Structure 1
Amino acid sequence: MRYSSQVKPISYLKANAAEVLAQLSEQREPLVITQNGEAKAVLQDVASFEETQEALALLKILALGHQELEAGRVRPVAEVVARLRSKRAPG
């Protein structure tokens, strides 16, 4: 995705806030806001933000799993299942 077409000055945001919000929801593309010619912020719709946060959470889980694997802190699945079953067994 090219962000160069989605760049607006802060004055445009101030003058057209409702329209900008409608476009964000409709197009689901982030909008770069500039101030004095410099990129200062990125606006995006809530659904896209939530999807991004979920993707980041999954990536963090994968990274943690990889760290556990690299550190040797793993057990064979059969061993884990047997351990869980033994805890559930009446006795």
Structure 2
Amino acid sequence: MRYSEQVKPVSYLKAHAADVLRGLAESGAPLVITQNGEARGVLQDVASYEATQKKLALLKLLALGNRDIDAGKLTPAREAIARLRAGKANAAEA
């Protein structure tokens, strides 16, 4: 997708808000809003926004994991699995 094809001035947004929102929901593509010829904001539908937030959260978890690896904070897989199984057993007893 080319963002250059998804650029509209703020005056277009004001005059066609309902159509813009409908288009966002249908295409899932973000829309760049300009003011005085300069990009000022980006609109996207809620589903795409939520998907983006989930992806960012996953990337953050991966980055934190990589930081732990770099710092030597490692646990052997067998030990981690044993702890998880023990936790499930304790949860089932509660």
- Does residue 76 (structure 1) correspond to residue 76 (structure 2)? The answer is yes
1:25-70 deviation digits (Å, cap 9, x = unpaired): 0111000000000000000000000000000000000000000001
Greater Cα offset, 7-16 or 78-87 = 78-87
Partner of 1:37: 37
Deviation of 1:80 (Å): 2.8
Letter in 1 for 2:62: L
For residues 38-77 of structure 1, the aligned pairs below 5 Å read 38-77=38-77
Following superposition, which runs of at least 4 residues in structure 1 exceed 6 angstroms of deviation? none
Question: Secondary structure of 1:29's partner?
Answer: coil
Q: Percent identity?
A: 63
Q: What is the distance in 2 between the residues matched to 1:86 and 1:6?
A: 52
Length-normalised TM-score, structure 2? 0.86
What SS class does the counterpart of residue 41 from structure 1 fall into?
Answer: strand
Unaligned runs of 5+ in 2: none
For the aligned residue pairs, the C-alpha RMSD in angstroms reads 1.8
Cα pair distance change 1:14/1:76, threshold 3 Å: same
* Distance of aligned partners of 1:73 and 1:15 in 2 relative to their CA distance in 1, 3 Å threshold: same
One-letter identity of the residue aligned with 2:74: V
